[in-house]
């Protein structure tokens, strides 16, 4: 009788970003062994790291800095170890965010500025479709589904030049509320979604399973 495969380990970064228990439970259902912590040994050594984010861009950046998360996330990405950002956890990966006229520095993993959605009604709250690339790993099997968004700000443009010809260009998924905005990015070990997969029903559960399954391949 074959042994039961060991589940991938996932650390959900615990830095004060509101209620993240739903993300922990959703990742557990997706087949991961999940730890909610900011301990460096767990953040750096887990098969996957999830960076949730709720609230304002500036406050999330300040809270991440308080637990030395910027350095740890940078080390993981540089070492090719998977990271998944969710909601503001996607936004802080960009160069900057502008809220109420104030520009604040982001992590700068990707070029672009987080800004107010140009829509008649904000926040953008509820279910929306996405337009995903055909070879997306995250959206395999759910590219036609709807996902749950709660946000007033987003990234409206994508301008990322791949310098190394052998590098695979990032895969960018879009949605729309007032204007097209980035709904997800897949860039080697670094992935992120503007929507909340843990609140997106069966489609979100499948997306998280896709990501957890990719950790087995990366291990």
163 CB neighbour count, 10 Å cutoff: 5
Q: Which of 124, 151, 177, 196 is catalytic?
A: 196
**What are the pLDDT digits (tens) for 15-26?**
987 779 999 999
90 CB-near residues (< 8 Å, 6+ apart): 53, 182, 184, 185, 192, 193, 194
Whether 124 sits among the annotated catalytic residues: the reply is no
Q: Which of 63, 87, 151, 177 is catalytic?
A: 87
Whether 145 sits among the annotated catalytic residues: the reply is no
pLDDT at 18: 72
pLDDT at 159: 87
Question: What does the alpha-carbon distance between residue 5 and residue 196 come to, in Å, rounded to a whole number?
Answer: 28
pLDDT at 4: 67
Where the chain has pLDDT below 50, the residues are: none
Cβ density class 84-95: b for 16+ within 10 Å, e for less:
bbbbbbbbbbbb
**What are the pLDDT digits (tens) for 63-101?**
999 999 999 999 999 999 999 999 999 999 999 999 999
CATH code of the region 9-218: 3.40.50.880
pLDDT at 138: 98
Whether 99 sits among the annotated catalytic residues: the reply is no
pLDDT at 163: 56
pLDDT at 164: 55
So where are the chain's domains? Answer: 9-218
Question: What does the alpha-carbon distance between residue 210 and residue 84 come to, in Å, rounded to a whole number?
Answer: 12
pLDDT at 16: 87
Percent of the chain with pLDDT over 90: 87
Q: Give CA 79 to chain center in angstroms.
A: 18
């Amino acid at each position: 009788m074959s042994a039961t495969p060991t589940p991938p380990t996932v650390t959900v970064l615990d830095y004060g970003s509101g209620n993240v228990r739903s993300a922990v439970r959703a990742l557990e259902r997706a087949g991961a062994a999940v730890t909610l912590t900011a301990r460096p040994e767990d953040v750096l050594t887990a098969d996957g790291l999830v960076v949730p984010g709720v609230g304002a861009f500036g406050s999330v950046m300040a809270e991440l800095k308080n637990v030395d998360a910027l350095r740890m996330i940078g080390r993981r990405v540089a070492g090719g170890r998977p990271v998944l950002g969710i909601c503001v956890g996607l936004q802080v990966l960009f160069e900057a965010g502008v809220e109420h006229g104030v520009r604040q520095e982001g992590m700068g993993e990707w070029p672009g500025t987080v800004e107010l959605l140009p829509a008649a009604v904000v926040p953008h709250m509820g279910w929306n479709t996405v337009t995903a690339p055909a070879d997306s790993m995250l959206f395999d099997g759910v590219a036609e589904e709807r996902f749950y968004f709660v946000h007033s700000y987003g990234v409206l443009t994508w301008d990322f030049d791949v310098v190394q010809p052998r590098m695979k260009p990032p895969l960018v998924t879009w949605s729309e509320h007032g204007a097209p905005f980035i709904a997800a990015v897949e860039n080697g070990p670094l992935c992120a979604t503007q929507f909340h997969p843990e609140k997106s029903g069966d489609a979100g559960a499948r997306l998280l399973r896709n990501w957890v399954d990719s950790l087995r391949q990366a291990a």
